[in-house]
Amino acid sequence: MIKKLLFALGLILFFLLGLWVSKYVYHWADLQKEETSEVLLERVQTVAKLITVEGYFSEVYDYKDYYGYNLSLFRKKALIRVKAKVSVGYDLSQLEFKARPDEKIIIVNNLPDPEILSIDHDLDYYDISEGVFNSFSPQDYTKLNQRAKQYIEERAKESELLQSAQHQGKQILDMMRFMVEQSGWQMEYREHSNLLDVDKLLK
């Protein structure tokens, strides 16, 4: 009987010793982490964009939806602070330059109108409430992100950013004309644009 008891205690001690060796020597019980990163470059595209003005926005976007009745059980809502930088300028990919060396004339074609080139925005969800029968899903947060960006885009279009970009673009063309004329050449613009008055450009 004593031998069986000693044998059992020996097995238990051996097992505990094995656990101790595994934990403190081989660190088997440590938290194991596996991270995988995969970067895929789908395409490289040459761009020619001129940013003439940037606008900074800080807006509060209020979202709410509910089923049937506007009660807390059926309603979810979010109050989001949106901070964004909106870059406005010109996509110059359609712009064409033609030179007539014999006449010393440079012709500018297809100058585009100013447009919003990019919107960089951050969201701060600082008031979120959900109903028992209506809660936010990951897809909802994705949609909120898209709607907040659209909201900033609308505010940017209502602001004076496009007009400011137009004014800056005209100044750039005036500077180009001045540099061309200093070289003994002339610059002509062949298509109408809201950006400039062609008669002034050719003076």
- Of 70-74, 149-153, 161-165, least confident by mean pLDDT is 70-74
| pLDDT of 201 | 39
Taking the alpha carbons at both ends of the chain, their separation in whole angstroms is 117
Q: Please report which confidence band the pLDDT of residue 196 belongs to, taking 50, 70 and 90 as the band edges.
A: very low
With 90 as the cut, is the pLDDT of residue 116 above it? yes
pLDDT tens sequence across 9-44: 555 665 555 655 555 555 444 555 666 666 676 667
Q: What percent of the chain has pLDDT over 70?
A: 67
**Domain range annotation of the chain:** 42-201
Q: Is 78 exposed, middle or buried (0-12, 13-18, 19+ CB in 10 A)?
A: buried
8-state DSSP, 134 = B
| pLDDT of 194 | 43
What are the Cα distances from residue 106, in Å, to 73, 177, 191?
Answer: 69, 9, 14
Count the Cβ atoms, other than its own, within 10 Å of residue 141. Answer: 14
Q: What percent of the chain has pLDDT over 90?
A: 18
Using an 8 Å Cβ cutoff, are 80 and 145 in contact? Answer: no
With 50 as the cut, is the pLDDT of residue 123 above it? yes
Indicate the average pLDDT of the chain.
76
